[in-house]
Amino acid sequence: MNFSRTFPVTTWFWKRLTSRPARLIYLGVLIIVIISPFALRVEAMLFERRVYKVMSALSSLRIGVTPKAEVLSRMAGFKVNGRSRGNARCEADECLSIELSSPKLSDWLLRKAGWSGHYNLYSVLSWWGFRYRRFTAYVDLTSGKVSELGYGLNLSTSRVSDSFGLWVGVSSKGNFVDLNLAADVDESPNYQVGHYFNRCHDLCMNVDFTRDASPELLRHAFGLKLRCIWSIAGCRTSNQLLPEAEQDRLEIRRAAFERMIGPNQCPDSILPRRARDTADILLVEVKKASTKIIVPDYLHGRRYRVASFRLLRILKGKAGRPLDKLAVTLDTGSTLYTGPWWDSEQVVVHNSAIDLLNPGQQFLLFSGTGKDIFEPCAAVPATDSAIQTIERALGKGRP
């Protein structure tokens, strides 16, 4: 039996389905559906490998120690961009940076889908493997040595509603003067982890460290986990990228809170950091203090007593703050930071200073956000050990 004569229509379809143009179409579909997602994920893996190589070099540098020649040696194989002092965003003698990014096609497709309102298409493209990635590492040099360093990583997610995308920023700092009385910075004076505001809270993370941060904490700050960039689901939260740093943040907050509610709210161990970051430190004595507890309409309604102090000595800074009729709150707001000041959490705890408001009692006063004493450990008992700790930290006392 002749099949083509018996089933002419079927034979005609079969010839069309097996023709050369049809095979080319099949090949194109195969490339689009199977090979292109595979190729995009291979490219993401290569991006991951390059980032890890830069991170390995960056984490080995030491502030104030590593010379420029060694920096360039460790960054060999990458295009290093350089700027000098006076150019945009360069306040050091020289600023070096490395940038790695995703293919321009991925950026273009995601922007077009997002801006045109095709949100389902945006998600499909992301699942397919078209994802935005941008990594920047920087090293600033002063007097021929590393003075600052850090990196930033920006990734797209599968949700176009995540307009910020994922963002992680890690950078060195000289101090934490902007958070000079924060309880968690007292607890961890050389390493801080935070999130940013509102919808970006789960998507954005910042890590700041000083040159005195421990090697273990630095490993956490530079311990990016990037497997999610080539996974099917993609990266969804900043905690996926720096999970150990997130655990550090939670541990620092827990330890700070337990100290604030514990029997030794303001130990000597927090004083070296205060000496470094606080503008003014005054040794004062209580002249008089009221016994009446006032409940005001301000200071968040917290109860307080009024006290006046006599200046005995200036340990740091200047004596510009008022010392008469200060409000000393019975309960104090301990600020636990999850990022910048506008995203902080206020935890109300007992203010240990109010228990010692007796004439003749000596205190160390630290400059804060106002003249009154309502921040945690803004006033601590001026014991001999406390004064000696401050003086040693300032380089004025015996070692």
| Per-residue pLDDT tens digits for 8-60 | 555 545 555 556 665 566 555 555 556 667 777 888 899 999 999 999 999 99
What is the widest separation between alpha-carbon atoms in the chain? 119
Residue 102 has pLDDT above 90, yes or no: no
CA atoms within 13 A on the CB side of 369: 14
Average pLDDT, rounded, for the chain: 83
pTM of this structure: 0.83
Q: Confidence band (pLDDT; 50, 70, 90) for 223? A: very high
Q: Are 374 and 352 in contact (CB under 8 A)?
A: no
Tokens matching residue 158: 């599968």
**Cβ–Cβ < 8 Å for 192, 337:** yes
Q: Is the dihedral of CA 315, 317, 321, 327 positive or negative?
A: negative
Output the pLDDT for position 298: 60
Q: Alpha helix locations (H) across 188-336?
A: 215-221, 238-241, 243-260, 271-277
**Residue range 332-344: average pLDDT?**
55
Angle at CA of residue 132, ends 55 and 221, nearest 5°:
25
Domain ranges for the chain: 33-257, 268-393
Whether 132 and 114 have beta carbons less than 8 Å apart is answered as no
CB 96 within 8 A of CB 138: yes
Residue 7 has pLDDT above 60, yes or no: no
| Two structure tokens written together for 291 | 């016994």
Q: What gap in Å lies between CA 158 and CA 160, rounded to an integer? A: 7
Among 134-148, 162-176, 385-399, the range of highest mean pLDDT? 134-148
**What band does 141 get if pLDDT is binned at 50, 70 and 90?**
very high
Cβ-contact 294, 306 below 8 angstroms:
yes
> Between the ranges 97-101, 154-158, 346-350, where is the mean pLDDT highest?
97-101
Q: Does pLDDT of 341 surpass 50?
A: no
Class of the CATH-defined domain 268-393: mainly beta
Assess contact for 96 and 141: CB atoms under 8 A.
yes
3-class DSSP assignment, residue 344: strand
Q: Cα 287 from chain centroid?
A: 43
Identify each DSSP E strand in the chain by its residue range. 81-84, 94-101, 133-142, 145-155, 166-172, 191-195, 204-209, 281-289, 304-316, 326-329, 331-337, 344-350, 362-366, 379-381
More confident residue, 295 or 209: 209
Q: Which residues contact 216 (CB under 8 A, 6 or more apart)?
A: none
Angstrom distances, CA of residue 262 to CA of 179, 258, 259, 332: 22, 6, 5, 14
| Residue 105 identity | L
pLDDT band with cut points at 50, 70 and 90 for residue 384? very high
Task: For residue range 230-287, list pLDDT tens digits in order.
Answer: 888 888 889 999 999 999 999 998 999 899 888 999 999 999 999 999 999 999 999 9
| Contact of 153 with 241, CB cutoff 8 Å | yes
Place of tokens 């420029």: 68
Q: What is the pLDDT of residue 48?
A: 93
Give the pLDDT score at 342. 45
pLDDT at 329 over 70: yes
**Which residue did the predictor score with more confidence, 343 or 315?**
315
